[in-house]
Amino acid sequence: MCDIYIGLFGEKYGYEDTAGVSPTEREYDLGTELHKTRLIYIKNVAQRDQKEAALIKKIEKEVVRKLFFDTDELKAAVYASLIRYLEEKEIIRLFPFDATFNRTATLEDIDEKKVKKFVARARIKRNFPFDESADFKTVLTHLDLIVGDRVTNAAILLFGKKPQKFMITSSVKCCQFYGNKQERPIPSYHIYDGDVFELIDQAVSFVMSRIDATVSGRDKSILADVESELPLLAVTEAIVNAVCHRNYTSNASVQVMLYKNRLEIWNPGQLPYGLTIEMLKKKHPSRPTNPLLARPMYLFGSIENVGTGTQMMVEKCLEQGLQEPEFSQDFDFITTFWRKEKQVKKDKESEKKPKSVEKSVEKSVEKSVEKILHLLESNPNITQKKLSQLTGLSRRGIERNIKILKAKGLIERIGPDKGGHWKIVK
């Protein structure tokens, strides 16, 4: 069985069977009957056999044919036709994966609410020229994510109802290990699905809720600094890079692996041509693997200044007294953050100091308030349900602490309960 019939026709009609029909004409007729793609090439000659001329005349009524004068011209014509066939069947791509039309997705697979949420955020963050009343097709067309009713892969990754239905490996896998190796038992393992914004939020929350955080200066102000064991901005940037710049044609997923001594973020992709590992530690040109995906992520605020993300990761780690993050590339691109070694010895003097119930309760309340403030700052769109999951507090406890923050003028709600976001008052 074949997918394509290629016919070459010249001067002679050739051998004829008992019915007076040549094998070449039989093959052409069979290809027509089976609805095969037929690529026909006719040599430009001064004179042909009568039957050959009749066959060519029959072919010309059914398919477009190409003339050729010599072998080199024939090879070029066949090559061009095969490339066009492969493009039409989307077997090969001349455009980036994100800009390629998805073969099976339709506009019905786009979540209009997600588009409206994006518009509201992008308008605040980057002065996006549309508001929430804009038709979602107009917004997607403006972002080059659709052409008519055809939907790009980027549109599905950004605003799809179920992106993993079309790109199963676009999920993010998060694991936590007790030691420094991938050994059982595994205390926590999650496979997160959703659009790129949801994947980033879930992966960042997975890491930040499982590493240590310290609060300084509680005796002076409720706005005391919260310092996570690993810098939030650096961790977020690494996860954003992995989700945005990965190779979506790979069968692998982005992996976030938290060990006792380090955090590793695996991106199934390679550095763009011309970029080296050393260049990542200073300002460098931005060459996104998925440019159509990267622009909406910039408008949404997930991506900041181009070409500075990895440099910022290095600076944030050094500011916090950590080792520089490591970047390495083999089959995958890996970012490694090194955690501080935990103190084994405890301060015996502090253990001897008695703690009153009143002070313990006060400390617990302040810690809860600080953690909620920290989560609201890192994700202004976070829901009370998600806050409850990440803090371990009940929904009522979350509501009580939010009232405290509002009363102190530290936060305010922008927009309605559904579709709005939190603003930290500096």
Same domain, 149 and 272: no
In angstroms, rounded to a whole number, what is the distance separating the alpha carbons of residues 255 and 207?
Answer: 12
DSSP characters for 213-263? EEE--TTT-TT--EEESS-HHHHHHHHHHHHHHS-TTSS--EEEEE-SSEE
The b-or-e profile of 168-179 (16+ CB within 10 A means b, else e) is ebbbbbbbbbee
Give the pLDDT confidence of 284-298 residue by residue, as tens digits: 777 788 989 999 999
Give the pLDDT confidence of 16-74 residue by residue, as tens digits: 999 999 999 999 999 999 999 999 999 989 899 999 999 999 998 888 788 888 888 88
Tokens of 325: 């993050």
Residue 343 lies in a domain: no
Among residues 190, 199, 193, the alpha carbon closest in space to that of 239 is found at 199
Q: What is the CATH classification number for the domain harbouring 231? A: 3.30.565.60
In angstroms, rounded to a whole number, what is the distance separating the alpha carbons of residues 345 and 336?
Answer: 27
Same domain, 311 and 181: yes
| pLDDT at residue number 344 | 33
Give the pLDDT confidence of 61-93 residue by residue, as tens digits: 888 788 888 888 888 888 888 877 887 776 776
Same domain, 211 and 313: yes
| pLDDT at residue number 355 | 46
Give the pLDDT confidence of 246-259 residue by residue, as tens digits: 999 888 999 999 99
H or E, element range at 367: helix 357-378
Residue 348 lies in a domain: no
| pLDDT at residue number 11 | 93
Give the pLDDT confidence of 199-226 residue by residue, as tens digits: 999 999 999 999 987 765 555 455 555 6
Domain termination site, one of 166, 189, 220? 166
Strand, coil or helix: what is 9? strand
In angstroms, rounded to a whole number, what is the distance separating the alpha carbons of residues 287 and 285?
Answer: 6
φ/ψ of residue 264, rounded to 5: -115, 135
Confidence of residue 361 (pLDDT cuts 50, 70, 90): very low
In angstroms, rounded to a whole number, what is the distance separating the alpha carbons of residues 83 and 64?
Answer: 16
In angstroms, rounded to a whole number, what is the distance separating the alpha carbons of residues 150 and 137?
Answer: 11
Range of the domain at 268: 170-338
- Mean pLDDT in residue range 187-197: 95
Q: How many domains does the chain have?
A: 4
Residue 185 lies in a domain: yes
Residue 364 lies in a domain: yes
Same domain, 287 and 218: yes
For the entire predicted model, the pTM comes to 0.63
Q: Across-strand partners of 7?
A: 40
Among residues 379, 420, 370, 335, the alpha carbon closest in space to that of 205 is found at 379
Strand boundaries in 240-397, DSSP class E: 254-258, 262-267, 326-329, 333-338
Residue 351 lies in a domain: no
Confidence of residue 14 (pLDDT cuts 50, 70, 90): very high
Same domain, 137 and 121: yes
DSSP tag of 371: H
In angstroms, rounded to a whole number, what is the distance separating the alpha carbons of residues 139 and 293?
Answer: 14
Judged against a pLDDT cut of 80, whether residue 140 lies above it is answered with yes
Same domain, 150 and 225: no
Q: ∠ CA 418-422-423 to the nearest 5 degrees?
A: 150
Same domain, 154 and 276: no
Residue 117 lies in a domain: yes
Judged against a pLDDT cut of 90, whether residue 158 lies above it is answered with yes
Q: What is the CATH classification number for the domain harbouring 397? A: 1.10.10.10
Residue 344 lies in a domain: no
Give the pLDDT confidence of 318-349 residue by residue, as tens digits: 999 999 999 998 778 999 999 987 533 333 34
The b-or-e profile of 353-387 (16+ CB within 10 A means b, else e) is eeeeeeeeeeeeebebbbbbbbbbbbbbebeeebb
Cβ atoms of 267 and 245 within 8 Å: the answer is: yes
pLDDT, the chain, mean: 85
Same domain, 60 and 151: no
The b-or-e profile of 333-344 (16+ CB within 10 A means b, else e) is bbbbbbbeeeee
Judged against a pLDDT cut of 90, whether residue 1 lies above it is answered with no
Same domain, 180 and 306: yes
Q: Across-strand partners of 411?
A: 424
Tokens of 280: 């990542």
Residue 35 lies in a domain: yes
